[in-house]
Amino acid sequence: MSAAEHDQHNRTHTLPLPDLSGAVPTSTEARAKRRIAALEEELQMMKQERGTKQRKTTYYVSQGRAIRRMVVLYANIENLIAENDRRCEESWENSTPEHVFCFFQNRLQRGYFALVQTLPWMHEKLAELDPDDVEDMMKKIKRGADAARGDDTSTLKDLVAAWVNQSFHPSNLLKSDDKQSRGFIHEVCGKLLCPAEWDWSKDCVKAGIRDRTSDYVVSENSWPLFVYENYSVNSSDLQQGLFMSKILVQAFKATFTSPSSAKEADGDGDGADILENNRRARRALNQVKVKTCVRFSLSNISSWRTIDGDFDYEAFWNHIVDFFEDVPGPVARRRVTTLLEWWTRKVFGKNHREDLTPEVVSKMSVTALAEQRKALEDSVFDSD
């Protein structure tokens, strides 16, 4: 066969190329089943992602409720984080000592310490998440924080009215749903809100406060009477009885334990050791939110805001924080520690663990039962 004939033969017997634009026929039913299976798998993945997102949202919101209760009542969380970041950078670059930072910066840093103690997971999350996820997390945390503040102020608004009525029996009883009749126009609320340096029983003081004269400006620079034990003050020792009032204990218990526990605000004990052993006690007793919220509940302003006339709630909150955290020396620190121990006894009651001596324990049922079981075993062994 010649070469030309060989080429002609190959062209004649070569298989035709497949049509790549077409498709291999398959069963319509089989294709539908596969498509349905793929859609179901995609739907399941979407549900899982949505469920994960919802769980994260719920977690962050619930965790955020602790912010306004135990960390900061006003400052932005971002400011606390930014201050800690700035200190890290300056410490690495310039070895800046802590005392060089200004008073405001130190307050923010103490707030960051409280933040990571209250929410210990946040420090790690801030390091591992990308900026968008951090922003989303912070929005959810702040939503929970603001919701908790709203819930607590609403609860205390009702409870404070009941406590004032029960303790003082005013002729004009406070109503839980009426804030307008409170404040300095009310005889008892006015007394409790009156600055410690003035005598509410004097008509000139009442008139000056109610008329807002220049001689009687009620501001955050005065300790109101409601923060003092028995609602009375010793002008020669203004720290005596400070933050030891019954209404503060009631508010703390209502917020951090339960509203019903606020009924037991008169008890005392010897549970100072709990302050060292109970993490919740250490964190919560250092907070000052209830003092600010009680002031709001006694006032006649109807909604939460920073400024009430001449009174700045944020500055008042900072004054209380500074009292506990920015002490001038060891003497003041000891008095603060004693005050916190008093709060521990008031809130958590008396601790009798130290009374459980070996002699006392030996007479208790667990020890007695153990001895009875051993005696029974010994008697059976002896009989054998």
- Shared-domain flag, residues 183 and 215: yes
Which of 118, 137, 156 is the endpoint of a domain?
Answer: 137
- Shared-domain flag, residues 116 and 158: no
Q: Rounded CA gap, 112 and 77, in Å? A: 8
Q: Is the dihedral of CA 312, 295, 343, 144 positive or negative?
A: negative
State the pTM of this model.
Answer: 0.70
Average pLDDT estimate for 175-188: 92
- Shared-domain flag, residues 51 and 153: no
Residue at 205 is within a domain? yes
Residue at 364 is within a domain? no
The backbone region for 330, taken as left when phi is positive above 0, alpha when psi lies in -120 to 50, beta otherwise, is: alpha
206 CB burial (10 A radius; 0-12, 13-18, 19+): buried
Query: Who contacts 300 (Cβ-Cβ below 8 Å, separation ≥6)?
Result: 179, 180, 181, 182, 183, 184, 185, 186, 189
- Shared-domain flag, residues 224 and 298: yes
Q: Which of 52-66, 112-126, 183-197, 267-281 is most confident?
A: 183-197
- Shared-domain flag, residues 184 and 325: yes
- Predicted pLDDT of residue 222: 95
pLDDT(212) > 90:
yes
Residue at 10 is within a domain? no
Mean pLDDT of the chain: 82
pLDDT(65) > 90:
no
Instruction: Report whether 312 contacts 218 (CB < 8 A).
Output: no
- Shared-domain flag, residues 289 and 337: yes
Nearest to 126 by CA among 73, 69, 72, 60: 60
Which of 104, 137, 170 is the endpoint of a domain?
Answer: 137
- Shared-domain flag, residues 237 and 291: yes
Query: Who contacts 128 (Cβ-Cβ below 8 Å, separation ≥6)?
Result: none
Q: Is 73 helix (H, G, I), strand (E, B) or coil?
A: coil
- Beta strands 307-308 and 311-312, pairing class: antiparallel
pLDDT(270) > 50:
no
Residue at 151 is within a domain? yes
Residue at 1 is within a domain? no
Q: Model confidence over 345-384: pLDDT tens digits?
A: 888 776 677 788 889 888 899 999 999 999 998 887 777 6
Percentage of residues in the chain having pLDDT higher than 90: 31
Query: Who contacts 257 (Cβ-Cβ below 8 Å, separation ≥6)?
Result: 347
Nearest to 189 by CA among 208, 214, 177, 171: 171
261: containing domain: 146-353
DSSP helix, strand, coil percent of the chain (3-state; round to 5) = 65, 0, 30
Instruction: Report whether 324 contacts 285 (CB < 8 A).
Output: no
Domains contained in the chain, number:
2
- Which of 12-26, 198-212, 256-270, 287-301 is the least confident region? 12-26
Instruction: Report whether 71 contacts 114 (CB < 8 A).
Output: yes
Residue at 14 is within a domain? no
- Shared-domain flag, residues 121 and 150: no
pLDDT(190) > 60:
yes
Residue at 122 is within a domain? yes
Average pLDDT estimate for 128-147: 88
Average pLDDT estimate for 196-222: 95
Percentage of residues in the chain having pLDDT higher than 70: 82
Q: Model confidence over 283-326: pLDDT tens digits?
A: 555 555 677 888 888 998 877 778 888 999 989 988 998 899 88
Instruction: Report whether 198 contacts 205 (CB < 8 A).
Output: yes
The backbone region for 114, taken as left when phi is positive above 0, alpha when psi lies in -120 to 50, beta otherwise, is: alpha
242 pairs with which residues across the strands? Answer: 228
- Shared-domain flag, residues 55 and 198: no
- Shared-domain flag, residues 90 and 156: no
251 CB burial (10 A radius; 0-12, 13-18, 19+): buried
- Shared-domain flag, residues 251 and 291: yes
Q: Quickly state the pLDDT bin for 94 (edges 50, 70, 90).
A: low
The tokens for 30 are 């089989």
- Shared-domain flag, residues 182 and 124: no
Residue at 216 is within a domain? yes
Question: In the block, which residue shows the tokens 């410690």?
Answer: 196
